[in-house]
Amino acid sequence: MAKKKTLFECQACGFQSPRWMGKCTSCNEWETMIELSSEQIKFLKETSSSNSTGSMLSKAKPITQIDEDNIKRFSSGSAELDLVLGGGIVPGSLTLIGGSPGIGKSTLLLKIASNLAKTNKKVLYVSGEESAGQIKLRANRLDANHDNLYLLPEINLSSVLSEISNQNYEFIVIDSIQALYSEDTPSAPGSVTQVRTITFDLMRVAKSLHIPIFIIGHITKDGSIAGPRVLEHMVDTVLYFEGDTNSELRLLRGFKNRFGSTSEVGIFEMNKKGLHDAKSMAGKFFNKDKLHSGSALTVVMEGSRPIIIEVQALVSEAYGHAKRSSTGFDNNRLGMLLALLEKKLDLPLGTYDVFINISGGIKINEPSADLAIIAAILSSYRDRELSPETLFLGEVSLTGEIREVSGLTQRLKEMETQGFSKAVIPNKPIEQTDIKCFVADEVSKVVEWM
Ligand code: TYD
Ligand code: MG
């Protein structure tokens, strides 16, 4: 008797193996391998063989003889989104927008859809999550009604594809990928096989008809797109929404971009009438008049823009095992800074709980805020307020040395604009500035300025 073929697939990354494993060897996730049914295995075989034999044989050419793609981008009607995308929407591109529930993904894309509809583009908004009536309500709030904006509440992929092929849409939003369902694939909506098939079909539509498609994807608690990582590999651009749903500010960060850099960040404000480009970031993330002990100010670069933010620390005596916890800042880095403070300044922090929070739901991704974190910790430990006129800037090394930061001139300019007068920085500024600069190249020296 022939042996029954078995195949297991990782629900996080799509890796396949003939044997079950507790931990996926490809993405290191635990307990994500599930057994595929014989129907699913047959489907996979069919699709892979049709992919390899269906296309014509193509020949390689010297790169010097190849013409570059002439990309003609168009504006999304939102300067912030255009910035993150690298200068506007690229026809035929597939963009994934991820973010936690309620952060504003549907709101932003409905607004963008209507912006484009108003510039005479025919736009399709596919919603598998909300009814047409619900979306209409939102459209009323956003002032997004337009004859060129078409709604399709549908979860069946083949209906969506036939709608797309029968009409000449110029922009499409899919809300959301996890809600769509392909009948051709014998697995549940949201599973790796489903998401892979649907994304592949959408990609084919986008590339062959030159229609830009924006896909909304839900994210899990750890911040990755729910379930399948495969999605991130397949699409051209991946953007993530960040921010605290309780505050009105939202950051849209580029994570992958085949048509531009990922260094820029879009900044939006949520209000009663939807999500708007934030006019000015200045002063949103700090309150100079109310600087308590445990708070320190610094300037971080969000893309090409400097933003002044407040970092907060709470140092309190520990009962039992000392806790270290941070929101918006790397916990390992916090551990390193605390160890350094113990060693260099002889602070008995091992018997204290330390909590760090970054205001406005911002996540700090650069080391230049180290010094401000240290200042905040010291301020909370001593229960003494820092001067609201002073900003702290510098990367701290394992040896306690304070390293230079990039874009110092730009950061100092922003401080000047915001009316600050003093800064503790790691190196002398090259350009003339009105800010009184204290140069500190060692952690122990910073204490002098506090
Ligand atoms: P939504 O776009 O539905 O989030 P997502 O699609 O990412 O899950 O946004 C939901 C939140 O946005 C909701 O909690 C209310 C808020 N909101 C406003 O504050 N103003 C508005 O005009 C709209 C449409 C939503
Ligand atoms: Mg939504």
Question: 263 and 119, same structural domain?
Answer: yes
Among the residue ranges 4-8, 101-105, 167-171, 198-202, the one predicted with the least confidence is 4-8
Question: 337 and 404, same structural domain?
Answer: yes
User: If you measure from the C-alpha of residue 65 to the centroid of ligand 1, how many angstroms do you get, rounded to a whole number?
Assistant: 49
**For position 447, what pLDDT does the model report?**
79
Number of domains composing the chain: 3
> Could you read off the pLDDT of 249-285 as tens digits, one per residue?
888 989 899 998 888 889 898 888 888 888 766 677 7
Question: 410 and 365, same structural domain?
Answer: yes
In this structure, the residue with its CA closest to atom 1 of ligand 1 is 104
**For position 55, what pLDDT does the model report?**
52
In this structure, the residue with its CA closest to atom 17 of ligand 1 is 274
Domain termination site, one of 231, 251, 277: 277
Q: Which domain holds residue 4?
A: 1-46
Question: 330 and 239, same structural domain?
Answer: no
**For position 206, what pLDDT does the model report?**
92
Of all ligands present, the nearest one to the C-alpha of 179 is: 2
User: If you measure from the C-alpha of residue 130 to the centroid of ligand 2, how many angstroms do you get, rounded to a whole number?
Assistant: 8
Question: 182 and 112, same structural domain?
Answer: yes
Question: 353 and 246, same structural domain?
Answer: no
Of all ligands present, the nearest one to the C-alpha of 97 is: 1
> Could you read off the pLDDT of 204-247 as tens digits, one per residue?
999 999 999 999 988 766 655 555 577 888 899 999 988 877 77
Question: 219 and 112, same structural domain?
Answer: yes
Contacts of 63 (CB under 8 A, 6+ apart): none
**For position 40, what pLDDT does the model report?**
75
- Which atom number of ligand 1 is nearest to the Cα of residue 216? 6
What is each CA distance from 45 to 40, 120, 292, 367, 450, in whole angstroms?
9, 43, 64, 48, 67
In this structure, the residue with its CA closest to atom 9 of ligand 1 is 104
Question: 305 and 412, same structural domain?
Answer: yes
Question: 104 and 246, same structural domain?
Answer: yes
Instruction: Assign 3-class secondary structure to 310-368.
Output: EEEEEEEECCCCCCEEEECCCHHHHHHHHHHHHHHHCCCHHHEEEEEEEHHHCCCCCHH
**For position 141, what pLDDT does the model report?**
92
Pocket test for ligand 1, best of 107, 134, 215 (most atoms within 8 A of CB): 107
- Which atom number of ligand 1 is nearest to the Cα of residue 105? 7
Question: 434 and 299, same structural domain?
Answer: yes
Question: 259 and 368, same structural domain?
Answer: no
| Helix spans in 179-307 (H) | 192-209, 230-234
Counted residue by residue, the chain has a size of 450
User: If you measure from the C-alpha of residue 363 to the centroid of ligand 1, how many angstroms do you get, rounded to a whole number?
Assistant: 21
User: If you measure from the C-alpha of residue 135 to the centroid of ligand 2, how many angstroms do you get, rounded to a whole number?
Assistant: 10
Q: Quick check: is 282 in a domain? A: no
Q: Quick check: is 157 in a domain? A: yes
Question: 146 and 33, same structural domain?
Answer: no
